[in-house]
Amino acid sequence: MTIDELLSGEKLLSIAEKENKSNMQNLCSILIGAIDLFHFLLIVLPLYPKSMKEYIASVNLFGYTETSAFNRMVYWVLFFLLMLIGVSELIVTQSKIEKVYKMVIVFSILLGIAAVLFLALTGETYATALAFLLLVLKAGLYMKGR
């Protein structure tokens, strides 16, 4: 007697659908964590303006001095928190702790929204565009994985 004889076609289909949905949720969770790690790009890419004598150059966050120290500190804190959340999302996803994952993903999305708003309010056009793109990707993956 084989497994096909023991299970009906409908049961096999139901089991395959559940496994497919579980795999898709796991993949989306991993990709969301990776997107949060991509906030590292907001630190190293030359997205911030720096006035030179006759022109404006683009610099990364390390060389950005055209804004207040408070704004730079908030940028660093936001970006490091988002990267830390990305690492925690990957760990929680692999540990299969569903309640903690829901809390982490909500905090991740809220912090992503805060980063986009703060960058927009301080006039960092290119950094705002990249942070918004990462937020849209994260929200799309979250909706896909639900």
| pTM: predicted TM-score of the whole model, two decimal places | 0.86
Asked if residues 61 and 72 have their Cβ atoms less than 8 Å apart, the reply is yes
Return the sign of the alpha-carbon dihedral for residues 67, 68, 69, 75: negative
- Say if residue 62's pLDDT is above 70: yes
Nearest to 82 by CA among 27, 130, 21, 19: 130
For residue 139, what pLDDT is reported? 94
| pLDDT score, position 108 | 95
Better-scored residue on pLDDT, 101 or 136:
136
- What is the structure's pLDDT at 113? 97
